[in-house]
Structure 1
């Protein structure tokens, strides 16, 4: 008689991941059927969605505020999309007119909302200002506006929307054209006005005014009972940038992080590099979008190269927001041979975008050869280091720009979005790009998000070591099983030599892997019996699995197959659980595959 093993990670469809987390960046899709149902828009899935991946699913707090703004300021039949600044709203409006040239200028309007005079007698010294810009447009054009939101990553965050909602409801967020001085700042919601430092713990046993007003989801998210002291925002951003720069690698509190000497350690191995070359963005895709946008400004309308099968929106950005791309989806040496022939024959390109390693096949590009071609034929190199992460690999010496999603393993807690962009001070393009970024850059990473990101990333170093070890152990378990067709992981890839050339002395091979099987039936059986939480995103502190190609490319599965990306691939982002426990979880899922 077979005894069923209780599953620890049975989380219902549509629940946030982590559960009861108001600003979670993942959502539970626990079965293969649920993932397909989500892509098909089936009611039994969609109706239960409490959230979704933020660039694909507009958070309910954002939608609530957008509806309120449209109801108050819009015309009949209009919707609103929210952005952190007028500049970004203008880009959205321009994209909408490009995609729908039949629209008149009067049909797409920008509403700038700014603080009114604070009724509570603000001294004007609040660390943040409840302001945003709304694009008002005909509701039937929503898919176009949503595409801009998704690809650019430049929409407002859910925490910003929550903050601004209260100001809007109180009449403290108004049309800038209605006041003479739009620079006045209000206090914003009361819970953000605490004067206690973020590092001051609140006792869970002795309720305080702060804990008494917290709802259960907020208490779970703000674990340890810490307050959001937004006066610490600037310091939190400095600490985050120091971690990304490699000059802050210890697990220390915020005050200690700020007390350290600048650039005492430079793990990036690039002379002259510092935190001043690190720029924060609302999410990783925003960093990629703005990199592409700014590079176009330097050389004009040249096509870009996308090398290796990339995360979906990277390719969409270069295709939709410029003259197009040359796509090398295999990431092979033969494709670099073809590129070199094109360049020698006179073709010119703006930039080459690549991931190190790629998602979801975990292939590593030959970035040394790419750098050589870029220097010879004058194109930029933009490397996305999200999957490898800078503790495992050092790709900056080969790039003009390095981008990363801080939402992933840098944060780990799956409750905040963030992105980074790094300029390489030793690149030939540096002086020009540095001047451009200094003139163009807007820091739109919302204050409360920065506070969470700093807190979450303090133990980044020790988490990476544990995740590396767990992922390697899981790979060995999967590789040894006869039902497994292929395990994709940098250590066991045909491109390992390229990864190892950039691997740091103490670096591992990361926490992401993917696996394929000999039949769809086997893949479904494995996934449905895999006792991990399941949903989009990666880099979480808990192991997170998904039928990635179904989720990311459901409408283009044949196209994916043409690049050797199988529809039935299962992607696993490995977390911090006990190694033996994870191995047993994998074995039970493998044993569930029909003999």
Structure 2
């Protein structure tokens, strides 16, 4: 075979390619990433779609324009489409929007005055709460209205059995009854729903502090900021002593502790057994984002009261469905509060469920293949002179904390983050893997994490100092390992040496 197994994917091409419902987008060169972050017109001209919570899907733009014409909305207002009328009420109440539009549509619509700070606040809150309207919903609507000619062809499960297939798979994986699981239109909506539920509980029990243990995903922290006036962040997930000292004074004021197992993107793991003991001592619910761990790498059912998972990632495996789930653990103290956590979840469009139902059937097999490849890639990186640091799970220290929770001793979470002894741009531009946001795909997917998640911090002296404090390198490459032949993955990385 002549040439590389991997080919560069053009800037702005969807990931996966030629898929209108793709949640990622190709940014093959570092200048593409910087151009996207700095809103360079030349770059934006190529990148017409991206992760749906951050960039409005092309079909949603068409739909908004159609609604504007249909209801004769004047040009002073921006049409914002949402997942439901419930989401409209939420945003209208939060930002005192009185210009709701009276419509007869099966989704939510609000009017926001253009060129105002209110518009940016609304769009940001939608991003954080994950109440975006589904691209498949918009596609169906536009097709029926004659605004697009074709529906995208894809393999799906039967409409009648699809939801049960997804719920049943998760119930079996997490060892929970089906009634303890609720689907959401994104992973962030799952986090949002749990935080809203915890917010409701605090008013009943007098506990009003939410603890974030570890430096969590940015939008998780943003949602907590929206709904908890009192919160405490412990950035270093390895330092349980600081948390323990804090709880000695404030333990019975804490509503819950929320954490990621392992953390994104540095793959750090807390001592889960010790953390659970602290939660039991002060009667604190523990919320775990298990997206990276998946229920097939780590069995965390003895530790979490609530799980949240972005099903967009490993459960989907193809980066073409935006969905999440809230899973309540029957073993722990909040199982009687099911309704409080589920009532904040936004509805999920049936065609998204049908697509995920087709993909989730391979969830366990996919995770095990990725795990095997990840282990081999870690071993290869350990021999590479061009690698500076390797971040992965599970390392020796993590195994001490997780020996009883690992599915097997060779179970590796399918993400590796690395830094290099060579210039980052040189390395990033040379590799021909798919490159863009998201993870958990069957195709190996690289992301320049800090550039895409915290670009503003990379531009100032103060920001750089802060990144240093939380131990987050600017030139960090997050690798979501795929199921391709491992020898081909390694061969592509050998181009760097």
Residue correspondence of structure 1 range 224-373 to structure 2 within 5 A: 226=155, 232-246=158-172, 268=174, 273-300=176-203, 302-333=208-239, 336-346=240-250, 348-373=253-278
Aligned match of 1:89: 88
Contact 2:307 2:326 in 1 (8 A): yes
Equivalent position to 1:132, from 101, 104, 107: 107
Distance 1:507 1:164, change over 3 A: farther
1:385 aligns with 2:283: no
Alignment equivalent of 2:306, drawn from 390, 394, 401: 401
Contact preservation (8 Å) 1:27, 1:535: yes
Q: Structure 1 residues 302-311 or 397-406, which shifts more?
A: 302-311
Unaligned runs of at least 5 residues, structure 1: 98-104, 115-130, 171-188, 190-212, 247-266
How far 1:76 moved relative to its partner? 3.1
List gaps (5 residues or longer) in structure 2.
459-463
- Work out whether residues 391 and 504 of structure 1, in 8 Å CA contact, stay in contact via their aligned partners in 2: yes
Kindly provide the CA deviation profile for residues 36-67 of structure 1, in whole angstroms up to 9, marking residues without a partner as x: 11111112211111310111111010121112
The separation in 1 between residues aligned to 2:90 and 2:467, in whole angstroms, is 30
> Number of matched residues?
483
Separation in structure 2 between the aligned mates of residue 484 and residue 506 of structure 1, nearest angstrom: 25
CA separation of 1:366 and 1:13: change in aligned 2, threshold 3 A: same
Give the direction of change, closer, same or farther, for the CA distance of 1:442–1:338 in structure 2 (3 Å limit). closer
Picking from 473, 493, 496, the partner of 1:586 is 493
Quote the residue 2:432 is aligned against. Answer: 531
Distance (Å, rounded) in 2 between the aligned partners of 1:355 and 1:494: 17
The whole-number CA distance in structure 2 between the counterparts of 1:397 and 1:537 is 28
Query: How far off is 1:95 after superposition?
Result: 3.0
Shift of the 374–26 alpha-carbon distance from structure 1 to 2, 3 Å rule, reads same
Provide the residue aligned with 1:67 in structure 2: 65
Distance 1:234 1:378 in 2: 41
* From 41, 46, 55, the counterpart of 1:57: 55
Structure-1-length-normalised TM-score:
0.77
| CA-CA distance at 1:583 after TM superposition | 1.0
- Asked if the contact 2:328–2:334 (Cα under 8 Å) also holds between the matched residues in 1, the reply is no
Cα deviation for residue 524 of structure 1 reads 2.0
1:166-181 paired onto structure 2 within 5 Å: 166-167=143-144
Aligned to 2:327: 422
Structure 1 residue 561 corresponds to structure 2 residue 464: no
Match in the other structure for 2:14: 16
Task: Determine if contact 1:515/1:569 at 8 Å carries over to the other structure.
Answer: yes
Using the alignment, how far apart are the partners of 1:40 and 1:297 within structure 2? 39
Q: Tell me, what secondary structure is at the counterpart of 1:365?
A: coil
TM alignment of 1:112-261, pairs within 5 A:
112-114=103-105, 131-140=106-115, 141-167=118-144, 218-219=152-153, 222=154, 226=155, 232-246=158-172
Shift in Å at residue 473 of structure 1?
Answer: 1.3
**In 2, distance between residues paired with 1:373 and 1:417?**
34
Residue of 396, 399, 406 corresponding to 1:503: 406
Q: Judging changes above 3 Å, is the alpha-carbon distance between structure 1 residues 443 and 42 closer, same or farther for their aligned structure 2 residues?
A: closer
Q: Secondary structure at the match of 2:104?
A: strand
Q: Which whole-Å CA distance do the structure 2 matches of 1:396 and 1:293 have between them?
A: 22
Shift of 1:150: 0.7
Deviations 1:101-140 (A, max 9, x none): xxxx53x4154433xxxxxxxxxxxxxxxx1011111122
Aligned partners of 2:28, 2:274: CA distance in 1, in Å?
A: 42
TM-score (norm 2): 0.92
SS at match of 2:296: coil
The Cα of 1:342 is off from its aligned counterpart by 2.1
Return the offset for 1:409: 1.0
Compute the displacement of 1:491 (Å): 2.4
Shift of 1:369: 1.8
Inter-partner Cα distance in structure 1 for 2:101 and 2:108: 7
Q: C-alpha offsets along residues 246-269 of structure 1, whole Å, 9 cap, x if unaligned?
A: 2xxxxxxxxxxxxxxxxxxxx545
Instruction: Please name the residue that 2:368 is paired with.
Output: 465
CA offsets per residue over residues 437-473 of structure 1, 9 Å max, x none? 46x2556111110000000111122211111111111
- SS of alignment partner, residue 431 of structure 2: coil
Distance in 2 between residues matched to 1:165 and 1:507, nearest whole Å: 48
Give the superposed CA RMSD: 2.2
Alignment partner of 1:397: what SS? coil
C-alpha displacement of 1:507 = 6.5
Q: Distance in 2 between matches of 1:318 and 1:441?
A: 15
Distance in 1 (CA, whole Å) between partners of 2:413 and 2:434 is 19
User: Matches of 2:250 and 2:454 in 1, distance apart?
Assistant: 34
Structure 1 position 321, deviation (Å): 2.7
Per-residue displacement from partner, 1:340-383 (whole Å, max 9, x unpaired)? 22222235222111111111000111222222222222322110
**Shift in Å, 1:7:** 6.9
